[in-house]
Structure 1
Amino acid sequence: MKVQIDPGRCQGHGRCYDLAPGLFAEDGEGYGQVVGDGVVPPGEEPEARLAVANCPERAIDLVEEA
């Protein structure tokens, strides 16, 4: 599973990096960005789903890897 942020939809609310700091960080302007390559480590799936569910702009997507 990977997370990704659509920078066109992100409005910088910061919920992603508040809820899942191991997966997201803020850029220099306060917008969310994915940490590393976006792969969700084992055990952090609940945080990833929580970040997706709490993004008011629906800018975060989970991608299931085949």
Structure 2
Amino acid sequence: MADRWHIEVDRDLCIGSGMCVGGAPEEFRLDAARQSHPVSPDREPSEEVLAAAESCPVEAISITRAATGEVVFPPEE
């Protein structure tokens, strides 16, 4: 079994573009303030979630390995 991921959305960065919802409608929702949030913050790794994070125009979505905190996205420079 693969390491679980922890998904967070930085609400200070989120501009409510909806790109994450468009790319992964089962994984992200926009609330009444048009701020994104993950449906399940802790989940199995998913290409759909990674693609949604990559599509965020302001990189507001971060993915880490739940057990270790190792960064999956955005890549560390």
Alignment TM class, shorter chain as reference: 0.7 to 0.9
Structure 1 residue 6 and structure 2 residue 10: aligned? yes
What is the percentage of aligned positions where both structures have the same residue?
Answer: 29
Q: 2-side partners of 1:35 and 1:17: how far apart?
A: 10
More helix by share: 1
Give the structure 2 partner of residue 39 of structure 1: 42
Q: Give the superposition deviation at 1:31.
A: 2.0
Q: RMSD over aligned Cα, in angstroms?
A: 1.4
Unaligned runs of 5+ in 2: 68-77
Is the Cα contact below 8 Å between 1:11 and 1:31 reproduced in 2?
Answer: yes
TM-score by length of 2: 0.73
Q: Which amino acid aligns with 1:33?
A: H
Unaligned runs of 5+ in 1: none
TM-score by length of 1: 0.83
More strand by share: 2
Count how many residue pairs are aligned between Structure 1 and Structure 2.
63
After TM superposition, which residue ranges in structure 1, 4 or more long, deviate above 4 angstroms? Answer: none
Structure 1 residue 60 and structure 2 residue 22: aligned? no
Structure with larger RCO (C-alpha < 8 A, sep 6+): 1
Give the structure 1 partner of residue 73 of structure 2: none
Rg larger for: 2
